[in-house]
Amino acid sequence: MSLKMVLPKGRIYTKVADLLDEIGIKLRGSDRGYRPFCSDTELSVKLLKSQNIPPLLALGQHDIGFAGMDWVLEQDAEVESVLDLEFDPVKIVCAIPESSDWEEMKKRPLIAVSEYRRLCENYLSDLNIDYTFVRAYGATEVFPPEDGDLIIDNTSTGSTLKANNLKIVDTVMKSTTQFLVNPRAMDDQNKRDKIENMLRLMQSVLSGRKRVLLEMNCTEDALEQIVSMLPSMRAPTISRLYEDSGFAIKSSVARDEVNALIPELIKAGASDILETQIRKIL
């Protein structure tokens, strides 16, 4: 059984490759290569531009892949997103020159520029705007005001738009990297088992990245207060220390809460606090 996997070339690749590495799938190859070596002999791997991945998955050229939800919707691809990796979050926005009035612009015919034809046309049609579409092939932000009235483009911070004297007037959608599956691949039991195993392990890694393991000691009189402060997944693990000298506590805590929590635990009587990275949560 060979499962055909396609990965995005470019900035998303490193994050996806790191995630695969953490579930035991190691990739090696040159910066210019498109077919990296894969340590998992059940997988064949190819790199493509993100926008090409959803339609090729839908055609059955590949079984699984990774791409942004923006390109899934833009290509209207019949693929299944089985996991939102939350990588590379971007917004698809409508932007116009800073000096323009959006409400006035909507009353006249406009030139709309974008790499996203479907998303652009659906958005402007819903607003009943009369427009002519011009496809961009990169550097969309350079078109206004001379060669376009508005753009539909992706942005993470908005800094590039601002640097080109553009302002955001609406958000068309939000997009993150997805783990995508060709639904027909799930009809093959061997492929289905492999995909579900990969999915389970990726979910466990992503869950582990959001939490840390806190271990600490405390005296008996501080135990109840400390336990009440710990937002564990179920309940903290508590055990007595040698010679009845206190208690040891273990608890899984949200990573974004831990720095604020530790000083409060110390005030409550916790000592010998250890913070450990969690690799997987299953």
Statement to judge: residues 118 and 255 lie in one domain: no
Reported as a single tens digit per residue, the pLDDT across 4-50 is 999 999 889 999 999 999 999 999 987 678 999 999 999 999 999 99
User: For position 265, what pLDDT does the model report?
Assistant: 98
CA distance 202 to 189: 20
Q: Number of folded domains in the chain?
A: 3
- Domain of residue 218: give its range: 211-277
Query: Is residue 198 assigned to a domain?
Result: yes
Please, are residues 81 and 182 in contact by the beta-carbon 8 Å criterion? Answer: no
CA dihedral 221, 225, 231, 232 (to 10 degrees): 20
pLDDT of residue 3: 96
Residues 35, 67 share a domain: yes
Q: Which residue has the tokens 């002519």?
A: 132
Task: Return the pLDDT at 168.
Answer: 98
- Residue (of 91, 112, 221, 235) closest to 154 by Cα position: 91
* Cis-peptide, bond into residue 231, ω within 30° of zero: no
22 and 45 part of one domain: yes
Give a yes or no: residue 171 inside a domain.
Answer: yes
What are the tokens at 276?
């450990």
Residue 83 CA to residue 264 CA, distance in Å, equals 35
Do residues 218 and 163 both lie within one domain? no
Distance CA 260, CA 124 (A): 45
Tens digit of each residue's pLDDT (9 = 90 or more) over 251-261: 999 999 999 99
State how far the Cα of 73 lies from the Cα of 69, in Å rounded to an integer: 6
Bridge partners (DSSP) of residue 68 are 177
What order of strands is seen across the sheet that includes strand 131-135? Answer: 131-135, 110-114, 150-155, 90-97, 166-175
Q: If you average pLDDT over every residue of the chain, what do you get?
A: 96
> 187 and 70: one domain?
yes
Q: How confident is the model at residue 188 (pLDDT cuts 50, 70, 90)?
A: very high
116: left (phi over 0), alpha (psi -120 to 50) or beta: beta
Residue 187 has pLDDT above 70, yes or no: yes
**72 and 181 inside one domain:** yes
Q: What secondary structure, in 3-state letters, does 143-196 show?
A: CCCCCCCEEEEEECCCHHHHHCCEEEEEEEEEECEEEEECHHHHHCHHHHHHHH
Sequence-distant (6+) residues with CB within 8 A of 118 are 73, 74, 75, 76
Pair (81, 186) in one structural domain: yes
Q: Which two tokens stand for residue 193?
A: 């088992």
Pairwise CA distance, residues 45 & 3, whole Å: 9
Q: Are residues 71 and 107 in the same domain?
A: no
pLDDT value of position 233? 76
Q: CATH number of the domain that 77 lies in?
A: 3.40.190.10
User: Distance between CA atoms of 142 and 148, rounded to whole angstroms?
Assistant: 9
Q: Is residue 188 part of a domain?
A: yes
Give the pLDDT confidence of 110-160 residue by residue, as tens digits: 999 999 999 999 999 999 999 999 999 999 999 999 999 999 999 999 999
Residue 282 domain-assigned (yes or no):
no
Residues 202 and 131 grouped into a single domain: no
- Per the CB < 8 A criterion, the answer to whether 132 and 168 are in contact is no
Residues 62 and 197 in one domain: yes
Q: Do you know the residue count of the chain?
A: 282
The pLDDT of residue 232 is above 80 = no
Together in a domain, 169 and 181 = no
